[in-house]
Amino acid sequence: MNTASKRQRTGLLLAGIYSAFNILSVLFPTPDGQVGPPSGILIIDSVLGLVGLAAVIVTWRTGNRAALRVAAGAIILITLTTLPAFFVDVPAGIKLLVGVFVLVTIAAVVLMFSPGRRPTPVLD
């Protein structure tokens, strides 16, 4: 993404790391007898992580705005699947982690869609 600002690149980097992190979620199922996401949600998050990471890479290399929207949509959907943790009886550490995920998602989306560089006016 040659014309991307530093903020936009930071948002893409956050989205890429978050997406890559979620690709691995399918490898860590909830142990029997513990409260956690069902395996279907873990599979969905892994697929969304793959889609998000691919979209981030395409956006970074080409600046494609449609891929940028796909990347943002993927991390938003991943985050939406974590929100039920606030409403069930899970350890406080899990709720804290979900809160961090929400903040990372908000920061990444805001940074990815921040305005690009504006030309500096030349004063005579």
Token look-up 């943790």 returns 85
From the first residue on, what is the mean pLDDT of each consecutive set of 10 residues in the chain (124 residues)? 79 96 86 77 94 96 93 96 86 89 96 78 68
In the DSSP assignment, the letter for residue 2 is T
Q: What is the pLDDT of residue 16?
A: 96
Q: What pLDDT, on the 0 to 100 scale, is given for residue 86?
A: 87
Extract the tokens encoding 33.
């007898």
Q: Which residues contact 21 (CB under 8 A, 6 or more apart)?
A: 49
Say what the pLDDT of residue 118 is.
66
Q: Report which of 61, 74, 42, 56 is spatially closest to residue 11, judged by C-alpha positions.
A: 56
N residues, the chain:
124
Record the tokens describing residue 23, joined without a space. 């690709």
pLDDT at 2: 56
Question: What 3-state DSSP class applies to 68?
Answer: helix
pTM of the model: 0.85
48: its two tokens: 């969304």
